[in-house]
Amino acid sequence: MPKVVLISILPADIERLVLEYAPEGYETVAIAASLPEAEKMAVTHDADFLIVYRTGVSEELLKASPNVKLIQLLSAGYDRIDLDMTRRYNVPVSNNGGANSWAVAEATIGLMLGVLRRLVEADSFVRAGRWRGSIEGFDTYELAGKTVGIVGLGNIGKKVAQRLHGFETVLRYTDAFPADPAFEAQYGLERRSLEDLLAEADILTLHVPLLASTKRMIGREQLAMMKPSAALINTCRGDVIDEDALIEALQQGTIRAAGLDVFDQEPIAKDNPLLSMPNVMLSGHLAGTTYDTFFRRAAFAFENIAGMVAGNPPMAVVTEQ
């Protein structure tokens, strides 16, 4: 009987939702990520699989849990896991296989609409009795006809492209690997270098994992290549952008606006200049987290685990950090 331990920050009702996807006969236990390591190890010492959400796995815990065959993440991102360490213990790490890509894609488009139509400002003006405030109408913009540059065409990037196609946007992307030609043709996608994408895009949206190669990939040099009228959207990881350079670019008008769900420091520092900028729309690393996503996250996690129990290799294994 496989034993699966869920280690997370999730509330009890969502923990139950996730563990209900376990096949019949599995032993399942949920423990809080905040527990001391000794208390965690008392539960995981005989575990066959770990399901993890918004926390790491220490070497101490992995060493004390010799039966673990897989660390299954409920998230897409895996920067909380030391892959060099897990390789030493021959334990693969899988992410959620795109289970939250619907949520992130929708949030991404929400941020685009928010910054183009100045929706947060519009709401605040009405609530303050100022009706339209400083918004005259001709200083807001439509998505239709805009060139959107997608940096990273993985599970999330593809869903962003599919949804933006309905907005009648012009779609361009950059990725280490070209997309399937049929997918490109269906959604009018054209591949560009990052440099060409920066110069062409009215909206640049980031959908890459945080790796050594993507850390600070958008800095002063890259921001200077963008149109002064451009907006930058980030729903992947804060460290993909040089935040100081972005603040400077927004203050100086190098780019017009930004929609940000992720930051260098989370929660964001109270003195961060981004908080006082009217041309920035902010959310607190919420893009990928909806109630609906946990059905898909849980289903994928236990499909992957059951596959390994049946002798199949794990799916969605992450290899680069």
| Number of alpha carbons in the 13 Å side-chain half-sphere of residue 63 | 7
Residue 117 among the catalytic residues: no
DSSP β-ladder status, 231-234 and 257-260: parallel
Residue 15 among the catalytic residues: no
Of the candidates 190, 266, 303, 320, the residue annotated as catalytic is 266
Whose tokens are 């990273």? That residue is 152
Confirm if 258 and 278 have CB atoms less than 8 A apart.
no
Residue 285 among the catalytic residues: yes
Of the candidates 172, 207, 285, 297, the residue annotated as catalytic is 285
Of the candidates 237, 256, 296, 297, the residue annotated as catalytic is 237
Confirm if 33 and 8 have CB atoms less than 8 A apart.
yes
Classify 319 as helix, strand or coil: coil
> DSSP letter string over 71-100?
EEESSS--TTS-HHHHHHTT--EE--TTTT
Query: Which residue in 268, 247, 321, 259 sits closest to 106, CA to CA?
Result: 259
**Separation CA 52–CA 49 (nearest Å):** 10
Confirm if 234 and 102 have CB atoms less than 8 A apart.
no
Catalytic residue numbers?
237, 266, 285
